[in-house]
Amino acid sequence: MVLVVLDHDGNRLKKGSLEALTRARDLAQALGEKVAGVLLAEEKAPVEEARKYVEVLYTATLGPYTAEKWAAGVLKAAEASGAKAVVAPSSRQSRAYLGRVAYALRAGLLEDTLESRAEGGEVHATRYAYLNRVTQKVKAALPVVLTVKPNTTPLAEPLPGEAEVVALEVPQVPTVEVLERIQEEKKGVSLTEADVVVTGGRGMGSPEAFKLVEELAALLGGAVGATRAVVDAGWRPYSEQVGQTGKTVQPSLYIALGVSGAVQHLAGMNKSKFIVAVNKDPEAPIFKHADYGIVGDVHQVLPAMIEAVKKLKD
């Protein structure tokens, strides 16, 4: 079997899960195996949707997330399915628990892969390194644990039938106990899954100016991003930070507003398909990486961009 970890929001599978399914199907075809899924949940999970994408579906309700619990759940599914490979969407959570799974399975760990293939009892993959400036080719012998970088792989389509659902009995590992969770309210599309990202930098001047950033992102069906300087100033939440110490995004369109283009920020977005930059400094480093650049005051350019998008939509 090739086992896929299916991330979800409680109601629907996330986009990253559909990318991971495509990779898993390719590996399974090369290895002559079937595809199984594991759906772990705190309370509820989209079981009916998930069973349309795999041939066997393992489920478990584990309560509040901890890396230990999720590692135990994935490991139990891997053992039950006899998985030769475990494929999962790349995320902060998966980085926290899949290393434990790989260690327990004595498996190679290939993280943030751009593409992958099975050949001769090995899995070959590519990934970025050195602040996304270099593409590495890596390989590991089976068994393998592999994560899929967001926005790199076509989305899987449902299969004709519906999978058998198998409930797992996962041993409790209460080393860490969650006492309280303060949930940040999420609006719109997820930053790492967005096809359009509109990011504001320190050049926006104030937290109030981000209302226009939010408006443009909403008009384009995208997500709002922020630089580290903006997050450190308390203007925007850390969940929106793009860069080496934030999130890595790879949308079709990345709009950088008042962003200078420090190397740490570029590491999180320089593989976007198209980059549009607005900055009043013609020497700003961001222009060296932008496909389209506008030299001007972002407070004048941004409202004009919003009006132009509104006219196009009308």
Binding site for FAD: which residues? 202, 227-228, 241-245, 258-265, 279
Closest CA to 240 of 223, 216, 264: 223
Closest CA to 147 of 159, 138, 158, 160: 138
- Edge to edge, the sheet with strand 274-279 lists 223-226, 196-200, 253-257, 274-279, 292-295
Can you say which residues are annotated as belonging to the binding site? 202, 227-228, 241-245, 258-265, 279
C-alpha to C-alpha distances, 227 to 92, 210, 232, 260, 305, nearest whole angstrom: 18, 12, 9, 9, 20
